[in-house]
Chain A
Amino acid sequence: MTTVAVDVKTLVIDGQNVSARAGQTILEVARENSIDIPTLCHLDGLSDVGACRLCVVEIKGNNKLLPACVATVEEGMEVTTTTERLTKHRRTILELLFAERNHICSVCVSNGHCELQSLAQSQGLTHVRLPYRNPQLAVDASHERFTIDHNRCILCTRCVRVCAEIEGAHVWDVMGRGIDSMIISDLHEEWGKSSCTRCGKCVQVCPTGALFDKSKIGSDHPKYPDFLPYLNLMREAQ
Protein backbone atom coordinates (compact mmCIF):
# COMPACT_ATOMS: atom_id res chain seq x y z
CA MET A 1 0.00 0.00 0.00
CA THR A 2 1.31 3.38 -0.93
CA THR A 3 0.45 6.56 0.83
CA VAL A 4 0.63 9.95 -0.74
CA ALA A 5 1.71 12.72 1.58
CA VAL A 6 -0.58 15.70 1.17
CA ASP A 7 0.79 18.99 2.34
CA VAL A 8 -2.17 20.46 4.19
CA LYS A 9 -2.36 24.12 5.17
CA THR A 10 -4.83 25.43 7.66
CA LEU A 11 -5.95 29.01 7.55
CA VAL A 12 -8.82 31.32 8.44
CA ILE A 13 -11.04 32.98 5.86
CA ASP A 14 -13.62 35.46 7.19
CA GLY A 15 -13.35 33.92 10.65
CA GLN A 16 -13.95 30.41 9.32
CA ASN A 17 -11.29 27.74 9.87
CA VAL A 18 -10.51 26.04 6.59
CA SER A 19 -7.97 23.58 5.31
CA ALA A 20 -6.33 23.55 1.92
CA ARG A 21 -3.69 21.76 -0.08
CA ALA A 22 -0.40 23.61 -0.50
CA GLY A 23 -0.34 25.51 -3.77
CA GLN A 24 -4.07 26.19 -3.85
CA THR A 25 -5.10 29.80 -4.36
CA ILE A 26 -7.08 31.73 -1.77
CA LEU A 27 -9.92 31.99 -4.30
CA GLU A 28 -10.11 28.21 -4.83
CA VAL A 29 -10.19 27.53 -1.12
CA ALA A 30 -12.73 30.28 -0.45
CA ARG A 31 -15.09 28.95 -3.12
CA GLU A 32 -14.68 25.37 -1.87
CA ASN A 33 -15.96 26.70 1.43
CA SER A 34 -18.83 28.71 -0.08
CA ILE A 35 -17.18 32.04 0.64
CA ASP A 36 -17.87 34.41 -2.21
CA ILE A 37 -15.11 36.60 -3.61
CA PRO A 38 -16.08 38.69 -6.66
CA THR A 39 -14.02 38.02 -9.79
CA LEU A 40 -14.01 39.20 -13.37
CA CYS A 41 -10.88 38.14 -15.28
CA HIS A 42 -10.79 34.76 -13.51
CA LEU A 43 -12.60 31.89 -15.19
CA ASP A 44 -12.64 28.29 -14.03
CA GLY A 45 -10.66 26.29 -16.57
CA LEU A 46 -8.25 29.06 -17.62
CA SER A 47 -4.93 30.16 -16.14
CA ASP A 48 -5.09 33.18 -13.85
CA VAL A 49 -3.50 36.52 -14.63
CA GLY A 50 -4.67 38.71 -11.73
CA ALA A 51 -5.55 41.48 -14.16
CA CYS A 52 -8.81 42.94 -12.89
CA ARG A 53 -7.98 43.11 -9.14
CA LEU A 54 -11.63 42.65 -8.15
CA CYS A 55 -10.71 39.61 -6.06
CA VAL A 56 -8.32 41.51 -3.78
CA VAL A 57 -8.45 40.39 -0.14
CA GLU A 58 -6.85 41.53 3.10
CA ILE A 59 -4.29 39.37 4.87
CA LYS A 60 -3.65 39.97 8.57
CA GLY A 61 -0.18 41.38 9.12
CA ASN A 62 0.21 42.39 5.47
CA ASN A 63 -0.46 45.96 4.36
CA LYS A 64 -0.80 44.95 0.74
CA LEU A 65 -4.04 43.72 -0.76
CA LEU A 66 -3.55 40.39 -2.52
CA PRO A 67 -5.45 39.13 -5.57
CA ALA A 68 -7.10 35.92 -4.34
CA CYS A 69 -7.01 34.30 -7.79
CA VAL A 70 -3.20 34.11 -7.84
CA ALA A 71 -2.17 34.37 -4.16
CA THR A 72 -1.56 30.93 -2.71
CA VAL A 73 -2.51 29.83 0.78
CA GLU A 74 -0.04 29.79 3.64
CA GLU A 75 -0.15 28.12 7.02
CA GLY A 76 -1.89 30.25 9.62
CA MET A 77 -3.00 32.90 7.13
CA GLU A 78 -5.91 35.09 8.22
CA VAL A 79 -7.86 36.28 5.19
CA THR A 80 -10.69 38.81 5.11
CA THR A 81 -12.70 39.01 1.90
CA THR A 82 -15.16 41.79 2.70
CA THR A 83 -14.26 45.07 4.38
CA GLU A 84 -15.16 48.69 3.79
CA ARG A 85 -11.73 49.25 2.24
CA LEU A 86 -12.11 46.33 -0.16
CA THR A 87 -15.62 47.36 -1.17
CA LYS A 88 -14.33 50.86 -1.89
CA HIS A 89 -11.53 49.51 -4.07
CA ARG A 90 -13.81 47.07 -5.91
CA ARG A 91 -16.30 49.81 -6.71
CA THR A 92 -13.53 52.09 -7.93
CA ILE A 93 -12.19 49.36 -10.21
CA LEU A 94 -15.64 48.92 -11.72
CA GLU A 95 -16.03 52.68 -12.12
CA LEU A 96 -12.69 52.82 -13.95
CA LEU A 97 -13.82 50.04 -16.27
CA PHE A 98 -17.12 51.77 -17.03
CA ALA A 99 -15.40 55.13 -17.63
CA GLU A 100 -12.62 53.75 -19.79
CA ARG A 101 -14.64 52.66 -22.86
CA ASN A 102 -18.24 52.95 -24.05
CA HIS A 103 -20.38 50.61 -21.97
CA ILE A 104 -23.96 51.49 -22.84
CA CYS A 105 -25.80 48.64 -21.11
CA SER A 106 -29.25 49.49 -22.47
CA VAL A 107 -28.23 48.90 -26.10
CA CYS A 108 -25.63 46.17 -25.53
CA VAL A 109 -26.09 42.68 -26.95
CA SER A 110 -25.15 41.34 -23.49
CA ASN A 111 -27.64 43.44 -21.49
CA GLY A 112 -28.90 41.16 -18.73
CA HIS A 113 -26.11 38.59 -19.20
CA CYS A 114 -23.05 40.76 -18.59
CA GLU A 115 -20.63 40.08 -15.75
CA LEU A 116 -19.55 43.74 -15.59
CA GLN A 117 -23.16 44.86 -15.33
CA SER A 118 -24.09 42.32 -12.66
CA LEU A 119 -20.92 43.05 -10.68
CA ALA A 120 -21.82 46.74 -10.66
CA GLN A 121 -25.15 45.77 -9.14
CA SER A 122 -23.78 43.27 -6.62
CA GLN A 123 -21.05 45.71 -5.53
CA GLY A 124 -23.64 48.47 -4.98
CA LEU A 125 -22.50 50.75 -7.79
CA THR A 126 -25.30 53.17 -8.79
CA HIS A 127 -23.24 55.69 -10.75
CA VAL A 128 -19.72 56.39 -11.97
CA ARG A 129 -17.99 59.31 -10.25
CA LEU A 130 -15.27 59.58 -12.89
CA PRO A 131 -15.79 61.42 -16.17
CA TYR A 132 -16.40 59.07 -19.09
CA ARG A 133 -13.57 58.98 -21.63
CA ASN A 134 -15.80 58.22 -24.64
CA PRO A 135 -12.99 56.93 -26.89
CA GLN A 136 -13.67 56.30 -30.57
CA LEU A 137 -13.15 52.55 -30.98
CA ALA A 138 -13.58 50.10 -33.79
CA VAL A 139 -16.09 47.31 -34.23
CA ASP A 140 -14.64 44.46 -36.30
CA ALA A 141 -17.46 42.56 -37.99
CA SER A 142 -15.27 41.01 -40.70
CA HIS A 143 -15.71 37.50 -39.29
CA GLU A 144 -18.42 35.38 -40.82
CA ARG A 145 -19.98 34.38 -37.50
CA PHE A 146 -18.76 36.69 -34.76
CA THR A 147 -18.10 40.35 -34.00
CA ILE A 148 -15.63 42.07 -31.69
CA ASP A 149 -16.84 45.41 -30.32
CA HIS A 150 -13.87 47.11 -28.65
CA ASN A 151 -16.23 49.60 -27.01
CA ARG A 152 -17.32 46.87 -24.59
CA CYS A 153 -13.92 45.25 -24.03
CA ILE A 154 -12.47 45.36 -20.52
CA LEU A 155 -9.15 43.69 -21.42
CA CYS A 156 -9.71 40.75 -19.09
CA THR A 157 -7.81 38.60 -21.65
CA ARG A 158 -10.10 35.60 -21.22
CA CYS A 159 -10.37 35.39 -25.03
CA VAL A 160 -6.59 35.47 -25.38
CA ARG A 161 -6.18 32.72 -22.80
CA VAL A 162 -8.94 30.41 -24.05
CA CYS A 163 -7.67 30.65 -27.63
CA ALA A 164 -4.05 29.96 -26.64
CA GLU A 165 -4.57 27.48 -23.80
CA ILE A 166 -7.66 25.51 -24.77
CA GLU A 167 -8.12 25.87 -28.52
CA GLY A 168 -4.37 26.04 -29.10
CA ALA A 169 -4.70 28.57 -31.91
CA HIS A 170 -3.50 31.73 -30.14
CA VAL A 171 -5.27 34.04 -32.58
CA TRP A 172 -5.96 36.71 -29.95
CA ASP A 173 -3.33 38.82 -28.25
CA VAL A 174 -2.91 42.22 -26.64
CA MET A 175 -1.37 45.14 -28.49
CA GLY A 176 -0.12 48.36 -26.89
CA ARG A 177 0.22 49.32 -23.26
CA GLY A 178 -1.93 50.72 -20.48
CA ILE A 179 -5.07 52.53 -21.55
CA ASP A 180 -4.11 52.12 -25.23
CA SER A 181 -4.13 48.31 -24.99
CA MET A 182 -6.23 46.58 -27.60
CA ILE A 183 -7.19 42.99 -28.26
CA ILE A 184 -5.98 42.04 -31.74
CA SER A 185 -6.28 38.95 -33.94
CA ASP A 186 -3.04 37.56 -35.37
CA LEU A 187 -0.65 40.45 -36.05
CA HIS A 188 -3.43 43.06 -35.96
CA GLU A 189 -5.35 41.82 -38.94
CA GLU A 190 -9.09 41.71 -39.48
CA TRP A 191 -10.64 38.87 -37.53
CA GLY A 192 -12.25 37.54 -40.72
CA LYS A 193 -8.86 37.27 -42.40
CA SER A 194 -7.06 35.82 -39.39
CA SER A 195 -6.08 32.24 -38.60
CA CYS A 196 -9.24 31.86 -36.43
CA THR A 197 -10.56 28.30 -36.28
CA ARG A 198 -14.16 29.56 -35.84
CA CYS A 199 -14.60 27.52 -32.64
CA GLY A 200 -16.35 30.37 -30.80
CA LYS A 201 -14.78 29.65 -27.40
CA CYS A 202 -13.71 33.29 -27.03
CA VAL A 203 -17.30 34.41 -27.49
CA GLN A 204 -18.53 32.07 -24.76
CA VAL A 205 -15.92 33.19 -22.21
CA CYS A 206 -16.19 36.94 -22.88
CA PRO A 207 -17.78 38.47 -19.76
CA THR A 208 -19.29 41.45 -21.62
CA GLY A 209 -20.73 42.18 -25.04
CA ALA A 210 -17.28 42.70 -26.57
CA LEU A 211 -17.40 39.33 -28.35
CA PHE A 212 -20.72 38.18 -29.66
CA ASP A 213 -22.39 35.84 -32.10
CA LYS A 214 -23.85 37.72 -35.07
CA SER A 215 -26.91 35.51 -35.11
CA LYS A 216 -27.77 36.71 -31.58
CA ILE A 217 -27.94 40.44 -32.33
CA GLY A 218 -31.18 41.85 -31.01
CA SER A 219 -31.99 38.74 -29.04
CA ASP A 220 -31.06 37.20 -25.72
CA HIS A 221 -27.35 36.35 -25.77
CA PRO A 222 -26.31 34.46 -22.65
CA LYS A 223 -22.79 33.03 -22.64
CA TYR A 224 -21.95 29.46 -21.61
CA PRO A 225 -18.36 29.25 -20.33
CA ASP A 226 -19.11 26.23 -18.10
CA PHE A 227 -17.77 23.82 -20.71
CA LEU A 228 -14.17 24.70 -19.82
CA PRO A 229 -13.63 22.75 -16.59
CA TYR A 230 -15.32 19.68 -18.16
CA LEU A 231 -13.20 19.92 -21.27
CA ASN A 232 -10.05 20.13 -19.14
CA LEU A 233 -11.18 17.19 -17.02
CA MET A 234 -11.85 15.00 -20.06
CA ARG A 235 -8.48 15.91 -21.56
CA GLU A 236 -6.67 15.10 -18.32
CA ALA A 237 -8.44 11.73 -18.12
CA GLN A 238 -7.12 10.69 -21.52
Chain B
Amino acid sequence: MSKLKLATVWLDGCSGCHMSFLDMDERLIELADFVDVVYSPIVDTKEFPDEVDIALVEGAVASVDDERKIRKIRAHSKMLIAMGDCAVAGNVPSMRNPFGPQAILDRAYFENADLQQQIPCVVVPQLLKVVRPIHEFVKVDVFLPGCPPSADTFHTALTALITGAPLDIPALTRFGA
Protein backbone atom coordinates (compact mmCIF):
# COMPACT_ATOMS: atom_id res chain seq x y z
CA MET B 1 0.00 0.00 0.00
CA SER B 2 1.40 3.37 -0.95
CA LYS B 3 1.42 5.94 1.82
CA LEU B 4 -1.20 8.63 2.07
CA LYS B 5 -0.04 12.19 1.52
CA LEU B 6 -0.70 14.27 4.64
CA ALA B 7 -0.45 18.06 4.77
CA THR B 8 -0.82 20.27 7.82
CA VAL B 9 -1.46 23.99 7.48
CA TRP B 10 -1.26 26.92 9.90
CA LEU B 11 -3.62 29.82 9.18
CA ASP B 12 -4.75 32.29 11.90
CA GLY B 13 -4.13 30.21 14.99
CA CYS B 14 -1.56 30.00 17.75
CA SER B 15 0.14 26.75 16.57
CA GLY B 16 -1.24 25.03 19.66
CA CYS B 17 -3.01 22.46 17.48
CA HIS B 18 0.28 21.61 15.80
CA MET B 19 1.90 21.31 19.23
CA SER B 20 -0.88 18.97 20.30
CA PHE B 21 -0.43 16.99 17.07
CA LEU B 22 3.26 16.60 17.94
CA ASP B 23 2.24 15.51 21.43
CA MET B 24 1.27 12.19 19.86
CA ASP B 25 4.96 11.50 20.56
CA GLU B 26 6.03 7.94 19.71
CA ARG B 27 2.68 7.33 18.04
CA LEU B 28 3.91 9.64 15.26
CA ILE B 29 6.37 6.92 14.31
CA GLU B 30 3.51 4.41 13.88
CA LEU B 31 1.61 7.05 11.91
CA ALA B 32 4.62 7.48 9.60
CA ASP B 33 4.04 3.90 8.38
CA PHE B 34 0.78 5.09 6.83
CA VAL B 35 1.39 8.70 5.82
CA ASP B 36 4.02 10.94 4.29
CA VAL B 37 3.97 14.50 5.57
CA VAL B 38 4.26 16.34 2.27
CA TYR B 39 3.58 19.87 3.50
CA SER B 40 3.60 21.41 6.98
CA PRO B 41 5.11 24.24 9.05
CA ILE B 42 7.47 21.54 10.34
CA VAL B 43 8.78 20.41 6.91
CA ASP B 44 10.64 22.39 4.26
CA THR B 45 8.21 22.33 1.31
CA LYS B 46 7.22 25.89 0.44
CA GLU B 47 4.35 25.28 -1.99
CA PHE B 48 1.19 23.30 -1.26
CA PRO B 49 1.46 20.11 -3.38
CA ASP B 50 -0.94 19.37 -6.24
CA GLU B 51 -2.31 16.16 -4.76
CA VAL B 52 -2.84 15.70 -1.05
CA ASP B 53 -4.94 12.97 0.55
CA ILE B 54 -5.52 14.50 3.99
CA ALA B 55 -5.12 18.17 4.81
CA LEU B 56 -5.24 19.19 8.48
CA VAL B 57 -5.91 22.91 8.73
CA GLU B 58 -5.32 24.87 11.91
CA GLY B 59 -6.55 28.44 12.30
CA ALA B 60 -9.33 30.70 11.14
CA VAL B 61 -9.41 32.64 7.88
CA ALA B 62 -8.40 36.19 8.85
CA SER B 63 -6.50 37.68 5.89
CA VAL B 64 -6.58 37.71 2.11
CA ASP B 65 -3.61 35.35 2.25
CA ASP B 66 -5.49 32.86 4.46
CA GLU B 67 -8.40 32.95 2.03
CA ARG B 68 -6.14 32.32 -0.99
CA LYS B 69 -4.47 29.45 0.88
CA ILE B 70 -7.65 27.71 2.01
CA ARG B 71 -9.08 27.76 -1.52
CA LYS B 72 -5.86 26.27 -2.87
CA ILE B 73 -5.79 23.63 -0.12
CA ARG B 74 -9.36 22.61 -0.88
CA ALA B 75 -8.69 22.38 -4.61
CA HIS B 76 -5.76 20.02 -4.07
CA SER B 77 -6.95 17.89 -1.12
CA LYS B 78 -9.16 14.83 -1.09
CA MET B 79 -10.06 15.23 2.58
CA LEU B 80 -9.99 18.51 4.44
CA ILE B 81 -10.02 18.45 8.24
CA ALA B 82 -10.76 21.59 10.27
CA MET B 83 -8.31 21.16 13.14
CA GLY B 84 -9.21 22.94 16.36
CA ASP B 85 -11.62 25.67 17.40
CA CYS B 86 -10.10 28.49 15.29
CA ALA B 87 -10.60 26.51 12.08
CA VAL B 88 -13.95 25.13 13.28
CA ALA B 89 -15.49 28.21 14.92
CA GLY B 90 -13.21 31.26 14.61
CA ASN B 91 -12.33 31.08 18.30
CA VAL B 92 -9.84 33.64 19.72
CA PRO B 93 -8.89 35.24 16.36
CA SER B 94 -12.59 36.00 15.80
CA MET B 95 -12.76 38.01 19.03
CA ARG B 96 -11.79 41.07 16.98
CA ASN B 97 -14.93 40.77 14.88
CA PRO B 98 -17.19 42.99 17.01
CA PHE B 99 -14.57 45.79 16.71
CA GLY B 100 -13.28 45.42 13.15
CA PRO B 101 -9.70 45.21 11.84
CA GLN B 102 -9.02 48.97 11.91
CA ALA B 103 -9.57 49.12 15.65
CA ILE B 104 -7.05 46.36 16.36
CA LEU B 105 -4.49 47.75 13.90
CA ASP B 106 -4.76 51.14 15.61
CA ARG B 107 -4.39 49.48 18.96
CA ALA B 108 -1.30 47.50 17.96
CA TYR B 109 0.52 49.97 15.71
CA PHE B 110 -0.47 53.37 17.13
CA GLU B 111 -1.79 53.23 20.69
CA ASN B 112 0.75 50.67 21.87
CA ALA B 113 3.67 51.78 19.66
CA ASP B 114 6.26 54.25 20.86
CA LEU B 115 8.32 54.41 17.70
CA GLN B 116 7.48 54.63 13.99
CA GLN B 117 3.76 54.49 14.35
CA GLN B 118 2.50 53.10 11.06
CA ILE B 119 0.25 50.33 9.85
CA PRO B 120 2.25 47.84 7.78
CA CYS B 121 1.06 47.78 4.18
CA VAL B 122 3.74 45.83 2.33
CA VAL B 123 4.66 42.12 2.63
CA VAL B 124 2.07 41.41 5.32
CA PRO B 125 -1.34 40.47 3.90
CA GLN B 126 -4.39 42.64 4.28
CA LEU B 127 -6.79 41.61 7.06
CA LEU B 128 -10.31 40.58 6.19
CA LYS B 129 -13.13 42.57 7.77
CA VAL B 130 -14.38 39.51 9.62
CA VAL B 131 -12.48 36.44 10.82
CA ARG B 132 -14.41 33.33 9.88
CA PRO B 133 -14.16 29.55 10.25
CA ILE B 134 -12.88 27.72 7.19
CA HIS B 135 -16.20 26.04 6.35
CA GLU B 136 -17.60 29.48 5.50
CA PHE B 137 -15.15 29.52 2.56
CA VAL B 138 -14.77 25.91 1.45
CA LYS B 139 -16.31 22.52 2.07
CA VAL B 140 -14.89 20.83 5.14
CA ASP B 141 -15.04 17.04 5.43
CA VAL B 142 -14.23 16.53 9.11
CA PHE B 143 -14.52 18.92 12.06
CA LEU B 144 -12.23 18.38 15.05
CA PRO B 145 -13.17 20.96 17.69
CA GLY B 146 -10.99 21.63 20.73
CA CYS B 147 -8.54 24.26 21.88
CA PRO B 148 -6.49 22.34 21.11
CA PRO B 149 -7.84 18.85 20.34
CA SER B 150 -5.83 16.48 22.52
CA ALA B 151 -3.09 14.24 21.19
CA ASP B 152 -5.38 11.27 21.91
CA THR B 153 -8.11 12.91 19.83
CA PHE B 154 -5.66 13.33 16.94
CA HIS B 155 -4.48 9.76 17.23
CA THR B 156 -7.95 8.23 17.40
CA ALA B 157 -9.35 10.43 14.63
CA LEU B 158 -6.43 10.01 12.23
CA THR B 159 -6.28 6.26 12.82
CA ALA B 160 -9.98 5.99 12.03
CA LEU B 161 -9.72 8.18 8.94
CA ILE B 162 -6.72 6.26 7.61
CA THR B 163 -8.19 2.82 8.24
CA GLY B 164 -11.78 3.76 7.42
CA ALA B 165 -12.97 2.74 10.90
CA PRO B 166 -16.05 4.52 12.32
CA LEU B 167 -15.30 7.86 13.96
CA ASP B 168 -17.43 9.46 16.71
CA ILE B 169 -15.93 12.93 17.11
CA PRO B 170 -18.27 14.28 19.85
CA ALA B 171 -17.18 11.32 21.98
CA LEU B 172 -13.57 12.51 21.67
CA THR B 173 -13.62 16.27 21.92
CA ARG B 174 -15.72 19.44 22.22
CA PHE B 175 -15.50 23.21 21.74
CA GLY B 176 -12.93 24.63 24.13
CA ALA B 177 -11.59 21.16 25.10
User: Could you list which residues of chain A lie within 8 angstroms of chain B, going by C-beta atoms?
Assistant: 98, 102-108, 111-112, 114, 117-118, 120-129, 131-132, 134-137
Contacts and interface: CB of A to CB of B under 8 A. Distances in A.
Contact of B89 (A118, A123, A127): A127
A104 B176 CA distance: 8
Contacts of B145: 126-127
Shortest Cβ-Cβ A-B pairs, 8 listed: A105-B176, A106-B147, A134-B97, A136-B98, A126-B143, A121-B174, A105-B175, A127-B143
B98 A124 contact: no
Contacts, number: 72
A127 B89 CA distance: 7
A102 B98 contact: yes
A118 B133 CA distance: 21
Contact of A117 (B94, B144, B175): B175
A94 to B, nearest CB: 10
A68 to B, nearest CB: 23
Contacts of A126: 88, 143-145, 169-170
B136 A131 contact: yes
A132 B135 CA distance: 12
Given A117-B174, A120-B174, A104 B135 contact: no
Interface of A is mostly: loop
Interface in B134-155: 135-136, 140, 143-145, 147
A123 to B, nearest CB: 8
B62 interface: no
A106 B174 contact: no
B6 interface: no
B130 A134 contact: yes
Given A120-B175, A124-B170, A136-B98, A107 B143 contact: no
B18 interface: no
15 contacts: A98-B89, A102-B95, A104-B176, A106-B85, A107-B95, A108-B176, A111-B176, A117-B175, A120-B175, A126-B88, A126-B144, A126-B169, A127-B135, A129-B135, A134-B97
